[in-house]
C-alpha cells in the first residue's frame, strides 16, 4: 500500500483488506471499506465523511476517480468485480457486481447500475436513473443504447480480473 493516505474522519479510519493495492497518492477518508483483491489507483479520492463507501472484492477504482457520499442521498456502494474507469465521479450511487463504468463518467445521487451493466465512456448518469442488468447506456445525459453482447458480458469479468492481476505487480 506504499504511502497511501488514510485519513480519520470523526474518529473513523478506512478499513482496507491486506490484499488490496492502494496507490501511494490515493486518499481514503473516513467510512471507507475496501474488500479483498480490490485496487485503488493513482490520484483517486474516496471520501466517506457524511456517509459510507464500500468497494467490493476484486473491484478497481482507476486513476483520478472521485468517490463521495451525500448526507441527504446516502452512501456509495460499489459491488464485486466492478471496473470504474479513469477520471470518473461517483456520488451517492450504487454500482452492482460486474458493472463497468467507462472512463470520464459521472454517476449522480441515487443512480443505480445493476449487475453486469455498462456505462459508455464520458457519460453522465443523472440522479435516480437505473441501468438494468445487461444494458449499455451512454451520452450526456445517459440514455439506453442497447443490450450488451455475449462477448461484452464476458468482458466485464475479464476487465476486473485483468486489474486484479495488474495490481499484484504493484504489491
Domain-by-domain residue ranges, the chain? 5-169
- Taking the whole predicted model, whether its pTM rises above 0.75 is answered as yes
Q: What is the pLDDT of residues 57-71, one digit of tens each?
A: 999 999 999 999 999
Structural element, H or E, at residue 119: strand 118-119
User: Three cell numbers at 155?
Assistant: 468482458
Say whether 81 sits in a helix, a strand or coil: coil
The answer regarding whether domain 5-169 maps to CATH 2.160.10.10 reads: yes
Residue 165 has pLDDT above 90, yes or no: yes
| CA terminus-to-terminus distance, the chain | 7
Spatial distance between the Cα atoms of 48 and 45, rounded to a whole number of angstroms: 10
Question: What pLDDT was estimated at residue 170?
Answer: 94
Question: What pLDDT was estimated at residue 3?
Answer: 62
| Band of pLDDT at residue 1, cut at 50, 70 and 90 | low
Q: What is the pLDDT of residues 113-123, one digit of tens each?
A: 999 999 999 99
User: Three cell numbers at 17?
Assistant: 483488506
| Band of pLDDT at residue 4, cut at 50, 70 and 90 | confident
Q: What is the pLDDT of residues 104-150, one digit of tens each?
A: 999 999 999 999 999 999 999 999 999 999 999 999 999 999 999 99
Amino acid at each position: 500500500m506504499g504511502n497511501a493516505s488514510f485519513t480519520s474522519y470523526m474518529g473513523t479510519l478506512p478499513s482496507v483488506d491486506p490484499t488490496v493495492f492502494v496507490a501511494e497518492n490515493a486518499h481514503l477518508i473516513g467510512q471507507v471499506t475496501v474488500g479483498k483483491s480490490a485496487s485503488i489507483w493513482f490520484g483517486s479520492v474516496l471520501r466517506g465523511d457524511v456517509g459510507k463507501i464500500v468497494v467490493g472484492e476484486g473491484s478497481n477504482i482507476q486513476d483520478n476517480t472521485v468517490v463521495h457520499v451525500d448526507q441527504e442521498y446516502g452512501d456509495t456502494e460499489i459491488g464485486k468485480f466492478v471496473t470504474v474507469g479513469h477520471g470518473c465521479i461517483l456520488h451517492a450511487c450504487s454500482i452492482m457486481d460486474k458493472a463497468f463504468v467507462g472512463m470520464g463518467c459521472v454517476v449522480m445521487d441515487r443512480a443505480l447500475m445493476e449487475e453486469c451493466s455498462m456505462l459508455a465512456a464520458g457519460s453522465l448518469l443523472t440522479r435516480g436513473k437505473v441501468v438494468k442488468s445487461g444494458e449499455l447506456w451512454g451520452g450526456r445525459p445517459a440514455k439506453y443504447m442497447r443490450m450488451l453482447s455475449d462477448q461484452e458480458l464476458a468482458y466485464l469479468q475479464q476487465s476486473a480480473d485483468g486489474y486484479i492481476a495488474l495490481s499484484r505487480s504493484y504489491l
